[in-house]
Amino acid sequence: MKLKDFSRNLPCYYCGVAGPSGREHAPPKMMFTGFDCDCITVPSCDKHNTKKSFGDRAIITAIIMGASQMLKNRGKMLKNRDNSSFEWTSNVLAAIKLIEPNFQQAKNEVELRDFLIDPSEDLDIPTPYTHLGETIYWWIKQLTAALVWSLIGRYEPNIHWDETRVWSPGLVITGEPFTTENAASLLSEHHDLEQYFNKLTWHLGWSAYPKNYPADIYSFDLCFIEDKENWQGMNIGFRHRFYNGISVWYAWLKVPQEIVDSLLVATSNNDN
């Protein structure tokens, strides 16, 4: 499927500010360092492109830092959680190796912190903490908006991107570590919600053209919601998968029916 591409003269994909526009990559190029693939590109105003490059680096570093910790502590992790559905592919291992040298450069944005106040020896594993707080929620909203633009090729004023609901089973907003008991309760809630989302019907999304993104580095799926009344009017869900599912993010939103129809056509081609 040939996607729409960046044009300097078009309005910003996210807010509709008139051009001239800069080129925004979705996801950021840093994620595909060392891989031979094309990139989805969209027109962006300065606010939604260059001014968020700081966040791009911190967020990608945080994800890879978490993957690096998982890799180093595989023995402990396997004792305490079900990793049967995760595979350490050669691409994921290569991505970790390529970005690990940048950890020190991002130390003012991301660091390792203790997640538990009272960890047992097997659970004494620090996790990435980013100083950007909720910035990653906006990052996911903008990625979702860029993917939709790449399909329809225009800014859609009837989609209120700022109202997109974003959630990840792997993110906890906190400044302090948890007790083991509180952490177990919270992670159980996250697990249950993720299991519910996973039982919905998902359709594979598109990729860069003609050289696709490595699917185990980044891919996304879509869910078409029929019972909108129970979803507060939301009718589309995106599931973003980074590094073979090390980090998974959901984005739920409401879009006009003509956009739903375009998304259905795009995913039906991928389902066949």
- Considering only residues 160 and 77, tell me which one the structure prediction assigns the higher pLDDT: 160
Three-state helix/strand/coil letters over the chain: CCCCCCCCCCCCCCCCCCCCCEEEEECCHHHHCCCCCCCEEEEECCCCCHHHHHHHHHHHHHHHHHHHHHHHCHHHHHHHCCCCCCCCCHHHHHHHHHHHHHCHHHCCCEEEECCECCCCHHHCCCEEEECCCCHHHHHHHHHHHHHHHHHHCCCCCCCCHHHCEEECCCCCCCCCCECHHHHHHHHHHHHHHHHHHHCCCCEECCCCCCCCCCCCCEEEEEEECCCHHHHCCCCEEEEEEECCCCEEEEEEECCCHHHHHHHHHHHHHHHC
Q: pLDDT digits over 28-49, tens only?
A: 999 999 999 999 999 999 888 8
Q: pLDDT digits over 190-240, tens only?
A: 999 999 999 999 999 999 999 999 999 999 999 999 888 889 999 999 999
pLDDT at 74: 78
- Which residues 6+ apart lie within 8 Å of 13 measured at CB? 24, 42, 43, 44, 48, 145, 146, 149, 155
Q: pLDDT digits over 106-129, tens only?
A: 778 888 899 999 988 878 888 988
Interval 15-26 mean pLDDT:
94
pTM: 0.92
What b/e readout covers 23-47, taking b as 16+ CB neighbours within 10 angstroms? ebbbbbebbbeeeebebbbbbbbee
pLDDT at residue 84 greater than cutoff 90 = no
pLDDT band at 101 (very low <50, low <70, confident <90, very high): confident
Look at 16-25, 30-39, 70-79, 93-102 and tell me which has the smallest mean pLDDT: 70-79
Q: Are strands 127-130 and 165-167 parallel, antiparallel or unpaired?
A: unpaired
Q: pLDDT digits over 126-160, tens only?
A: 898 887 666 889 999 999 999 999 999 999 999 99
pLDDT at residue 53 greater than cutoff 70 = no
- Please say whether the beta carbons of 9 and 18 come within 8 A: no
For residue 240, count other CB atoms closer than 10 A to its CB: 21
pLDDT at 80: 45
Interval 68-96 mean pLDDT:
76
CA gap 132, 138 in Å, rounded: 11
Residue 166 tokens read as 């974003």
For residue 183, count other CB atoms closer than 10 A to its CB: 19
CA gap 204, 147 in Å, rounded: 13
pLDDT at 198: 95
pLDDT at 51: 59
Interval 71-82 mean pLDDT:
64
- Where along the chain do its domains lie? 22-154+161-271
C-alpha distances in Å from residue 115, one per residue of 127, 184, 188: 6, 11, 15
pLDDT at residue 168 greater than cutoff 50 = yes
Q: How many CA atoms lie within 13 A of 56 on its CB side?
A: 17
pLDDT at 76: 66
pLDDT at residue 245 greater than cutoff 60 = yes
pLDDT at residue 272 greater than cutoff 80 = no
For residue 108, count other CB atoms closer than 10 A to its CB: 9
